[in-house]
């Protein structure tokens, strides 16, 4: 596979020439100044590796933001905008976002709005960012604990994907990105699902090929519907309840915070169960998918009050319209139904299925 996509909106590189293509892209942009946004983790574990591979001759100034979803806020953006201003950034400056989904989301939003927009490049360092967050042009921040409520759709000049950064990640972060890959398989094809059964991040060649498959699946959907008016909504499969669960755990004083992929994995099981009831998703496939997910993602416990609170948060989902919560459901692998209303009793029933399912 060539492992590169070049469109009028952006270029995505995941091949052996990625770093020389990055240098050529930076030279073509000819920025007055280059800034690199990292969080405290990627500053420690990834910045030196990036500088070693990138070999960009122009001096690069580093901006460090605090790590974690709780810092994906407008306040963090204000700090970065102020830093850019103090360091003399102008409309011909370039911002390189080196990090996971929080860094690429925040950095893309900062660049898209600073002086009404400067060029930016995403260099994702987490599996989640490589297959999802850094691709597709969605940038933004959370509003309190409500996910991605403020943002813009604007593509980076370039996305450079190198699995070498995955060596810096704890297992939990690998698992988080894997959940998005499983979602891509469910909305695309059973063949890709079966390929993912043997996923092993230590096998660099296989991992790169699977990452590229996910990138192609997402990019093909985004190209059909950049502004999420229809077809792109399928990428939200598992995210309606998944985001609500993530937000609920983030604001809870007693529950542990879940990384994005953990919450999405739960959302996928719930959405597949609801799909089997409303649009006929095969129950044998439902059981196989549930078993695989619960084998790879630790099961979480939710009581009735938890479920009530999570259901209340659904109204804030970006797909909601006129007070109705709209789900993406699957009739089969690659066969999606968008804008489907789901009765609350069925949501409660789905949580019970998740709780009681027995792994063979």
Secondary element (H or E) of residue 305: helix 304-313
Residues in Cβ contact with 305 at an 8 Å cutoff, skipping those fewer than 6 apart: none
Do 196 and 145 reside in the same domain of the chain?
no
* pLDDT reported for residue 338: 95
CA distances, 25 to each of 20, 92, 94, 264 (Å): 9, 14, 11, 34
| 357 CA to centre of own chain | 27
**Tokens standing for 130?**
């490589």
Report the domain count for the chain: 2
Rounded distance between C-alpha atoms, residue 215 and residue 209, angstroms: 10
Chosen domain end from 151, 169, 187 = 169
The catalytic residues are 116, 138, 180, 218, 228, 232, 236, 239, 243, 260
Secondary element (H or E) of residue 139: strand 138-143
* Per-residue exposure over 25-47, b if at least 16 CB sit within 10 Å of its own CB, e if not: bbeebebebbbbbbbebbbeebb
| 32 CA to centre of own chain | 30
Max CA-CA distance within the chain? 61
Nearest to 161 by CA among 147, 144, 177: 177
Rounded distance between C-alpha atoms, residue 235 and residue 99, angstroms: 22
Do 184 and 153 reside in the same domain of the chain?
no
Do 127 and 209 reside in the same domain of the chain?
no
Spatial contact of 268 and 254, defined as CB atoms under 8 Å apart: no
DSSP, collapsed to helix, strand or coil, labels residue 138 as strand
Rounded distance between C-alpha atoms, residue 11 and residue 339, angstroms: 31
* pLDDT reported for residue 322: 60
Do 351 and 226 reside in the same domain of the chain?
yes
**Tokens standing for 277?**
């009831």
Rounded distance between C-alpha atoms, residue 110 and residue 227, angstroms: 19
Do 252 and 306 reside in the same domain of the chain?
yes
pTM exceeding the 0.75 threshold for the entire prediction: yes
pLDDT tens, residue order, the chain (360 aa): 589 999 878 999 999 999 999 999 999 999 999 999 999 999 999 999 999 999 998 999 999 999 999 999 999 999 999 999 999 999 999 999 999 999 999 999 999 999 999 999 999 999 999 999 999 999 999 999 889 999 999 999 999 999 999 988 999 999 999 999 999 999 999 999 999 999 999 998 999 999 999 999 999 999 999 888 899 999 999 999 999 999 999 999 889 899 999 999 999 999 999 999 999 999 999 999 999 999 999 999 999 999 999 999 998 776 666 667 899 999 999 999 999 999 999 999 999 999 999 997
Do 128 and 217 reside in the same domain of the chain?
no
Do 150 and 178 reside in the same domain of the chain?
no
Chosen domain end from 152, 169, 186 = 169
* pLDDT reported for residue 6: 93
* pLDDT reported for residue 1: 55
Q: Exposed, middle or buried: residue 318 (CB in 10 Å: 0-12, 13-18, 19+)? A: middle
Domain that holds residue 290: 173-356
Q: Any idea what the CATH number is for the domain that residue 120 is in?
A: 3.40.50.1970
Rounded distance between C-alpha atoms, residue 228 and residue 23, angstroms: 32
* pLDDT reported for residue 319: 65
**Tokens standing for 69?**
């979803």
Rounded distance between C-alpha atoms, residue 360 and residue 350, angstroms: 19
Residues in Cβ contact with 203 at an 8 Å cutoff, skipping those fewer than 6 apart: none
Do 118 and 194 reside in the same domain of the chain?
no
Chosen domain end from 144, 169, 194 = 169
Do 157 and 277 reside in the same domain of the chain?
no
Q: Exposed, middle or buried: residue 61 (CB in 10 Å: 0-12, 13-18, 19+)? A: middle
Do 50 and 83 reside in the same domain of the chain?
yes
Nearest to 302 by CA among 331, 270, 280, 271: 270
Residues in Cβ contact with 157 at an 8 Å cutoff, skipping those fewer than 6 apart: 10, 11, 25, 29, 119, 120, 121
């Amino acid at each position: 596979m060539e492992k590169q996509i070049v469109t009028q909106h952006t270029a995505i590189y995941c091949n052996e020439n990625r770093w020389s293509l990055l240098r050529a892209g930076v030279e073509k942009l000819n920025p007055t100044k280059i800034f690199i946004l990292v969080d405290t983790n990627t500053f420690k574990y990834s910045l030196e590796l990036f500088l070693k591979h990138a070999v960009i001759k122009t001096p690069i100034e580093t901006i460090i933001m605090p790590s974690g979803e709780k810092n994906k806020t407008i306040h963090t953006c204000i700090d970065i905008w102020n830093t850019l201003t103090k360091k003399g950034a102008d409309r011909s400056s370039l911002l390189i976002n080196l990090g996971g989904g929080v860094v690429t989301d925040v950095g893309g939003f900062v660049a898209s709005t600073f002086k009404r927009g400067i060029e930016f490049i995403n260099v994702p360092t987490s599996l989640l960012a490589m297959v999802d967050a850094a691709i597709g042009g969605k940038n933004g921040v959370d509003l309190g604990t409500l996910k991605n409520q403020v943002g813009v759709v604007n593509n980076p000049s370039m996305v450079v994907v190198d699995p070498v950064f995955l060596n810096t990640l704890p297992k939990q972060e690998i698992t988080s990105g894997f959940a998005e890959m499983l979602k891509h398989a469910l909305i695309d094809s059973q063949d890709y699902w079966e390929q993912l059964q043997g996923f092993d991040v230590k096998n660099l060649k296989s991992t790169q090929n699977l990452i590229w498959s996910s990138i192609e699946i997402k990019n093909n959907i985004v190209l059909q519907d950049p502004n999420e008016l229809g077809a792109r909504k399928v990428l939200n499969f598992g995210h309606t309840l998944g985001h609500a669960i993530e937000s609920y755990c983030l604001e809870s004083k007693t529950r542990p915070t879940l990384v994005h992929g953990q919450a999405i994995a739960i959302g996928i099981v719930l959405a597949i169960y609801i799909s089997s009831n409303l649009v006929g998703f095969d129950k044998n496939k439902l059981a196989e998918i549930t078993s695989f997910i619960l084998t790879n993602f630790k099961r979480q416990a939710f009581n009735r009050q938890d479920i009530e609170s999570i259901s209340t948060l659904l109204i804030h989902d970006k797909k909601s319209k006129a007070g109705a919560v709209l789900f993406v459901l699957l009739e089969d692998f690659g066969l999606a139904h968008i804008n489907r209303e789901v009765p609350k009793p069925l949501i409660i029933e789905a949580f019970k299925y998740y709780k009681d399912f027995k792994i063979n």
